[in-house]
Structure 1
Amino acid sequence: MSYMVAVSVIIVNYNGEAYLQQALDSLRAQTFRDFEVLLVDNASTDGSVDNLKTEGVPGYRFFPQSRNLGFAAGNNVAAKQSGALWLALFNPDAVANPDWLERVMAGTERHPVASMFACAQYALDDPSIMDGAGDCYLGFGIPWRGGFGLPAAPLAEGECFSPCGASAVFRRTVFEAHGGFDERFFCYCEDVDLGYRMRLAGERCVFLPDAVIRHAGSGISGRASTFAIFHGTRNRIWTYAKNTPALLLVLTLPGHIAITLAILLRGLKTGQAGPTWRGIVAGLAGFGGLRKDRRFGPPVRQVSLGELVYAMAWNPKRLLDRRPVIRPLRPPRGTDRQAARPVAAGK
Structure 2
Amino acid sequence: MSLPSTTVVVVTWRGRDHVTACLDALARQRPHRALVLDNASDDGTAALVAAHPSAPAVVRLPRNAGYAGALAAVLPRVDTEFVAWLNDDAAPEDSWLGHLEDALRAAPGAAAATSSLLLADGATQSVGVRLTADGHGADLVLAGREVFGFCGGAALLRTDVLRSCGGVPRGFFCYYEDTDTAFRLRLAGHGVVSVGPARVRHRHGASTDPGSRLFHRWNERNRLLMLLRCAPAGVALAQVARFAALTAVLPWRGGPKPANFRLPLRLQVLAEVLLRLPAVVAQRVAIGRRATVSRAAVWREWAGR
- Compute the TM-score of the two structures, normalised by the length of structure 1: 0.77
1:283 match: 273
> CA contact under 8 A between 2:112 and 2:193: conserved in structure 1?
yes
Structure 1: gaps of 5 or more residues: 148-152, 315-347
2:305 corresponds to 1:309: no
Counterpart mapping for 1:97-136 below 5 A: 97-123=93-119, 125-127=120-122, 129-136=123-130
Shift in alpha-carbon separation, 1:137–1:258, aligned structure 2, 3 A:
same
**Letter matched to residue 282 of structure 2:** K
Q: Residue 222 of structure 1: which of 196, 209, 214 is its match? A: 209
Q: Residue 181 of structure 2: which of 190, 194, 206 is its match? A: 194
Q: Residue 131 of structure 2: which of 126, 130, 137 is its match? A: 137
Shift in alpha-carbon separation, 1:160–1:271, aligned structure 2, 3 A:
closer
State how far apart, in whole Å, the 1-side matches of 2:108 and 2:293 are: 19
State how far apart, in whole Å, the 2-side matches of 1:183 and 1:254 are: 22
Shift in alpha-carbon separation, 1:23–1:308, aligned structure 2, 3 A:
same
State how far apart, in whole Å, the 1-side matches of 2:188 and 2:198 are: 26
Cα deviation for residue 306 of structure 1 reads 3.6
> CA contact under 8 A between 2:7 and 2:35: conserved in structure 1?
yes
> Secondary structure at the residue paired with 1:207?
strand
> CA contact under 8 A between 1:121 and 1:130: conserved in structure 2?
yes
RMSD: 2.7
Counterpart mapping for 1:14-33 below 5 A: 14-30=13-29, 32-33=30-31
The structure whose residues are more often helix, as a share, is 2
1:257 match: 242
2:88 match: 92
Shift in alpha-carbon separation, 1:203–1:14, aligned structure 2, 3 A:
same
Cα deviation for residue 233 of structure 1 reads 0.8
1:66 match: 62
Shift in alpha-carbon separation, 1:96–1:70, aligned structure 2, 3 A:
same
**Letter matched to residue 71 of structure 2:** N
Cα deviation for residue 255 of structure 1 reads 9.7
> Secondary structure at the residue paired with 1:84?
coil
**Letter matched to residue 136 of structure 2:** I
2:199 match: 212
**Letter matched to residue 62 of structure 2:** S
Of all paired residues, the percent bearing the same amino acid is: 23
Shift in alpha-carbon separation, 1:139–1:28, aligned structure 2, 3 A:
same
State how far apart, in whole Å, the 1-side matches of 2:192 and 2:105 are: 14
State how far apart, in whole Å, the 2-side matches of 1:170 and 1:236 are: 21
2:152 corresponds to 1:165: yes
State how far apart, in whole Å, the 1-side matches of 2:192 and 2:254 are: 32
State how far apart, in whole Å, the 2-side matches of 1:77 and 1:162 are: 22
> CA contact under 8 A between 1:17 and 1:48: conserved in structure 2?
yes
- Compute the TM-score of the two structures, normalised by the length of structure 2: 0.87
2:173 corresponds to 1:183: no
2:41 match: 44
Shift in alpha-carbon separation, 1:255–1:275, aligned structure 2, 3 A:
closer
Post-superposition CA distance 1:109-135 (Å, at most 9, x none): 321221111111111x211x1211212
Shift in alpha-carbon separation, 1:28–1:287, aligned structure 2, 3 A:
same
Post-superposition CA distance 1:266-291 (Å, at most 9, x none): 99523441424422332234223321
> CA contact under 8 A between 2:224 and 2:239: conserved in structure 1?
no
Structure 2: gaps of 5 or more residues: none
> CA contact under 8 A between 1:11 and 1:40: conserved in structure 2?
yes
2:219 corresponds to 1:232: yes
**Letter matched to residue 132 of structure 1:** S
Shift in alpha-carbon separation, 1:73–1:236, aligned structure 2, 3 A:
same
2:52 corresponds to 1:54: yes
Shift in alpha-carbon separation, 1:240–1:293, aligned structure 2, 3 A:
closer
Number of corresponding residues: 297
State how far apart, in whole Å, the 2-side matches of 1:284 and 1:132 are: 32
State how far apart, in whole Å, the 1-side matches of 2:193 and 2:255 are: 34
Cα deviation for residue 204 of structure 1 reads 1.2
Shift in alpha-carbon separation, 1:66–1:285, aligned structure 2, 3 A:
closer
